[in-house]
Structure 1
Amino acid sequence: MTVSKSLEMEPNRSNAGSIFIKSQHAKPVKIPRDIDLSRQVAIVTGASTGLGFHSCRHLLSLHLSHLIMPVRSLERGEDAASKLRKEFPAANIQVAMLEMSSYESIQAFVTRMHSERSRLDIVILNAGVSRMDYAVIEDTGHEEIFQVNYLSTVLLSVLILPLLKLKSPASAPGRLTIVNSGTALFAKFPNRHERPLLKSFDNKATWSSTGTYPCSKLLGHYFIAQLIRYVDAKDVIVNCVDPGLCKGTGLSRDVSGVLSIFYSLTKSMIGRSPEVGSSTFIDAAVVKGKESHGCFVMDWKITP
């Protein structure tokens, strides 16, 4: 049975503050410029702004031939794509509709990719949400952070994996990288003993943004640890990555008041630039090899 190298490593028992500060001051590892993604096809979700957009720029700078940008707003997606087309005129850049809060939209997107694409090499699942107020997705009945960051991401991963296996060349495995967060290391998981467990994440009485977001990311770790029992690295390499705290992202746009001031000050002092933060995606999805299968990549290295 395949076991993640991350699970074989000794857990980091340092306190949250120490891990965070050390991570933010980690020396960035440059993307090797001799990597050539010519003829390859990549999908990057959440690509219209922030880290998703900059990860697209990184891929295209490595001569990626075809980029697919699934977005919830076609207008914003086309605006982002037009900027990339001007910078990389030789690339084929396509915008597609994908609403991560909708199972129907996720299934429709994968069906479209299956029918339209003869090749698929890289998938980076970057779309996620963080908010300060409790909200329920009407179509599914689940709390929004739990829905988008975990349930929908799991569904999209499971549906896209067969395409990566089928449509990547025999000479190289497909790549699936799920954007995660270092906050998973600090998740309290107060509802771990609740039954049914998944339903307990929708309980408004026990909900908190600072509790639910890390838990949604921790569940992502559990998912990948189990997923690699069924996915061989020779077919698709699966891993997850933490970009660190970064400037220029919309993830904390919902934060207000004193917490907003704290976030802004922290980002301004030690936040990574979007270019540096998104380079972690490329490191996990392109640079790292089979040794990263099932692993958590943080600060450009495999970590527990």
Structure 2
Amino acid sequence: MNTRFAREHLGGQLCTTVEYPTHSFASQTIIVTGSNTGMGLEAARHFVRLDAAKVILAVRSVEKGQKAAADIVNSTGRKGVVEVWELDLARFDSVKAFAQRALALERLDVLVANAGIFMFDWSEAEGSEATVTVNVVSHMLLVMLVLPKMRETAERVGSAGRIVFCGSFTHWMTKFPERKEENILEGLDDKGKARMRDRYYVSKLIQLLVGRELAAELEKSTKPGRIAASVSNPGFCKTEIMRHGSALFELYMKFMRKSLARTAEEGGRTLVLPASADETSNGQYYDSGKIGMPSDWVLSEEGMQTQKKLWGELTARLEKIHPGVMQNL
């Protein structure tokens, strides 16, 4: 096992207490995807507690989202702040419809890309493997589509907009053999070669790489309105993301959650803390709510080359999904 991984992640999991967010989000509008349960719900609850003017729960099930909204109101006492909007990241038309609605907002200060899936068996969404579609492609499509509103807001209020991707320490846990494919994303769509028990880890590594490249592109941009993009690893938390595993796997995870896992509330803090930072957070990797370092491979020459390659492939795919979308960058 990599000694830095053991020290920073396993040790940090047991010994680090995540800071309790206190930064005010007064007047701000915030979107949190996957916020009807788990860390997304708890992050949304924190944003409401911290005086956000509007918090949008972007959820696949409106019914579950409404229950989550009622729970937030009950715990914070703040009415008229939470809104529930439908967003199905397995469908590009849903992402586009959501983004179109978001463009009509008076302002948009923060986007927390939290939603994700952990699939053990092959499944497809929009003609590609579902994990990559949901965890990577759809979230980046959403980012690109709402970027004009975030820039407009940042320019008007004089404060950088923040995009926070929910990352994972599991980006350390894959050898990522697909990186050697001529086209990585197309290689991940090959059912015959798919290693599904590794796929979530791969998706989180790709998310980290393209998130870093997005930050680099934002840094170079001369368009008005500064935006900071960061990736935040919440650590191992008590959530439902692995619910599709076998009964034996669930028994194992039950033991691990009891022994090692943070609460969903603590995980939610790790999504709120980067959202409270200024534009110097652009390109940062957060670990347990503090600025940290991603894996050695991510920082290696091969990692940086793969990052560029993936960015080119992803942006080409986004252009096919929504022609002209990359002009928003």
- Asked whether the two chains share a fold, i.e. TM above 0.5, the reply is yes
Query: How do 1:175-254 residues align onto structure 2 when only pairs under 5 Å count?
Result: 175-232=162-219, 235-247=226-238, 249-254=239-244
Match of 1:172 in 2: 159
CA distance in 2, matches of 1:17, 1:261: 24
Query: How do 1:99-178 residues align onto structure 2 when only pairs under 5 Å count?
Result: 99-115=88-104, 117-137=105-125, 140-168=126-154, 169-178=156-165
Match of 2:300 in 1: none
Match of 1:52 in 2: 40
Runs of 4+ in structure 1 over 4 Å off: 15-19
Q: Which of the pair has the greater relative contact order for Cα pairs under 8 Å at 6+ separation?
A: 1
CA distance in 2, matches of 1:90, 1:72: 22
CA distance in 1, matches of 2:142, 2:70: 26
Q: Normalized per residue, which structure has more helix?
A: 2
Aligned with 1:25: secondary structure?
Answer: helix
Tell me the number of residue pairs that the alignment of Structure 1 and Structure 2 aligns.
287
From 285, 308, 311, the equivalent of 1:296 is: 285
Match of 1:271 in 2: 261
Which shows bigger deviation, 85-94 or 180-189? 85-94
Instruction: Output the amino acid matched with 2:98.
Output: F
> Is the 1:60–1:88 contact (alpha carbons within 8 Å) kept by the matching residues of 2?
no
CA distance in 2, matches of 1:29, 1:221: 21
Match of 2:312 in 1: none
- Give the aligned CA root-mean-square deviation in angstroms: 1.9
1:96 aligns with 2:85: yes
CA distance in 2, matches of 1:21, 1:229: 29
When the two structures are superposed, what TM-score results if normalisation uses the length of structure 1?
Answer: 0.89
Aligned with 1:212: secondary structure?
Answer: helix
Instruction: Output the amino acid matched with 2:170.
Output: T
Change (3 A) 1:20 1:207: farther
> Is the 2:215–2:230 contact (alpha carbons within 8 Å) kept by the matching residues of 1?
no
When the two structures are superposed, what TM-score results if normalisation uses the length of structure 2?
Answer: 0.82
From 62, 67, 81, the equivalent of 2:55 is: 67
Cα distance, 1:189 vs. partner?
0.6
1:154-195 CA distances to partner (integer Å, 9 max, x unpaired)? 111222222211123432111110111110122211111112
Cα distance, 1:49 vs. partner?
0.7
Identity across the alignment (%):
27
Which shows bigger deviation, 164-173 or 197-206? 164-173
Which shows bigger deviation, 71-80 or 163-172? 163-172
